[in-house]
Amino acid sequence: MPNIKIEKLVPGGQGIGVSDDGKKGFFWNALPGEIVTEYTITKNKSHYFEAIAEKVESPSSHRIAPADPCFLSTSPWQIMDYNYELEQKALLLKEQFNQEKIGLEINTINTDGTDFHYRNKMEYSLYWDNETEKISLAFHQRGSHRKIPITKSSIERPEIFAHAKKIVDDLNARHEEARKYQSLLLRCNQQGEVSGGLYENKKPHPTFKNLTDTILGHAYSYSPNGFFQINLPVYEMALLEIKNHIRTDKVLDLYAGVGTIGLSVAKDKNLTLVECNKFAYTELEKNSDGKKTILANSEDVLSYITPDTTVIIDPPRAGCDAKLLNRFIEITPPTIIYLSCNPATQARDVKILLDSKRYQIKSCTPFNFFPRTPHLENLIILEKI
């Protein structure tokens, strides 16, 4: 097993190094500058492999002890200090835009400084111990289908983990078996109220009690197993920044989900919200407070994109449909507010708009929605030239 020096981190979150034969290795639990001397390969292809570093020499000055034994399953960047995490995320964001030949000037990564106990939703597996004949909470081991039992997890709200342990205690008191269940999903609102429950194998998912939260003064109802933002305090920071860039009366919120962007930042405007998922749309209608809502794909409501409308987009990881981008170029709404959970596809889409010579980037503001993970939310404001 040859020693491999880690050159840098890549957008997926691993450290990359090259073996003596030129084969690239992507390592979890490894930081730039470290030399990996022992590792477990989890995927081996002809030109690259993926692995988990078990032992390193010359450990980075930014390496810290992870808070959780299960960190590789949930939040693999627990191994670095928080300032270094923010620094690396900024570098990776610039790299992803550089790949599209966009030189990006980014504002400081926004964070509320909370790097643990921030997630308001968690889904656990259940592990059966043949010796004790008891159930434990579990996560899947990274790179495998194997479950690892846990007694501690630090990225979700404490109310969620406490509730999960109580459910498992109740299952054990009834001498239940883990194989009966698919998973345990729980969600918590800002007031600490927990909803959710067990998914049984071969049975329809149950309907859980809705939760409510207030974001920038607007109350929202949402299902625990539906779409809602994971880190509300940082999400509110993003919404305040978005609100600063709305200067038209007409506002179109595409990929609206349950409405938390448009209704939070433009409830005093002539607002239209569009969502394609029927379950999210049901919640959107409840939250809409009389605003116009449309159940449709964003690329199927192109007539609502007009020259006097500010457009907000928060697409899934795949990014925007080409028809939507072409409509922007054709009609040139004055401002496009693009919030993305995947900077790589965001950079691809922004490149198309910049190349049209119709738009320029006014600002780029990243938000650390998911501390201790490689994930970053990025806000690009595009203005008509």
68, part of any domain: no
214, part of any domain: no
Contact predicate 203/232, CB 8 Å: no
Q: List beta partners, residue 4.
A: 36
Query: Do strands 181-188 and 4-9 pair parallel, antiparallel, or not at all (unpaired)?
Result: unpaired
287, part of any domain: yes
* Domain end call among 209, 240, 267: 209
How many structural domains comprise the chain? 3
Angle among Cα 334, 231, 244 to the nearest 5 degrees reads 25
- Please indicate, yes or no, whether residues 107 and 126 belong to a single structural domain of this protein: no
- Please indicate, yes or no, whether residues 100 and 36 belong to a single structural domain of this protein: no
Query: Do strands 48-57 and 24-28 pair parallel, antiparallel, or not at all (unpaired)?
Result: parallel
- Please indicate, yes or no, whether residues 180 and 102 belong to a single structural domain of this protein: no
Contact predicate 200/182, CB 8 Å: yes
- Please indicate, yes or no, whether residues 244 and 261 belong to a single structural domain of this protein: yes
Mean pLDDT of the chain: 96
- Please indicate, yes or no, whether residues 89 and 58 belong to a single structural domain of this protein: no
Q: Is the pLDDT of residue 107 over 90?
A: no
CA 56, 62, 68, 74 dihedral sign is negative
- Give the mean model confidence (pLDDT) for residues 147-169: 97
Contact predicate 50/43, CB 8 Å: yes
70, part of any domain: no
Q: What is the CA radius of gyration of the chain?
A: 23
- Structure tokens belonging to residue 179: 């194989």
pTM tops 0.85, yes or no:
yes
DSSP run (H or E) holding 52: strand 48-57
Q: Is the pLDDT of residue 333 over 90?
A: yes
pLDDT of amino acid 237: 98
- Please indicate, yes or no, whether residues 184 and 307 belong to a single structural domain of this protein: no
**The 3-state secondary structure of 125-155, one letter per residue:** EEEEECCCCEEEEEEECCCCCCEEECCCCCC
Q: Is the pLDDT of residue 284 over 80?
A: yes
| pLDDT per residue as tens digits for the range 160-184 | 999 999 999 999 999 999 999 999 9
Q: Is the pLDDT of residue 48 over 90?
A: yes
pLDDT of amino acid 74: 97
- Which CATH number belongs to the domain containing residue 31 in this structure? 2.40.50.140
Q: What is the DSSP letter of 299?
A: G
- Structure tokens belonging to residue 221: 């109802």
CA 149, 124, 142, 370 dihedral sign is negative
- Please indicate, yes or no, whether residues 367 and 340 belong to a single structural domain of this protein: yes
pLDDT of amino acid 1: 74
Band of pLDDT at residue 123, cut at 50, 70 and 90: very high
Task: Name which of 54, 62, 14 is nearest 37 in CA terms.
Answer: 54
| pLDDT per residue as tens digits for the range 238-258 | 999 999 999 999 999 999 999
312, part of any domain: yes
- Please indicate, yes or no, whether residues 335 and 236 belong to a single structural domain of this protein: yes
224, part of any domain: no
- Please indicate, yes or no, whether residues 247 and 205 belong to a single structural domain of this protein: no
SS3 272: strand
74, part of any domain: no
- Please indicate, yes or no, whether residues 380 and 237 belong to a single structural domain of this protein: yes
- Please indicate, yes or no, whether residues 196 and 140 belong to a single structural domain of this protein: yes
- Please indicate, yes or no, whether residues 204 and 326 belong to a single structural domain of this protein: no
pLDDT of amino acid 227: 83
Domain that holds residue 167: 121-209
186, part of any domain: yes
Q: What is the DSSP letter of 31?
A: -
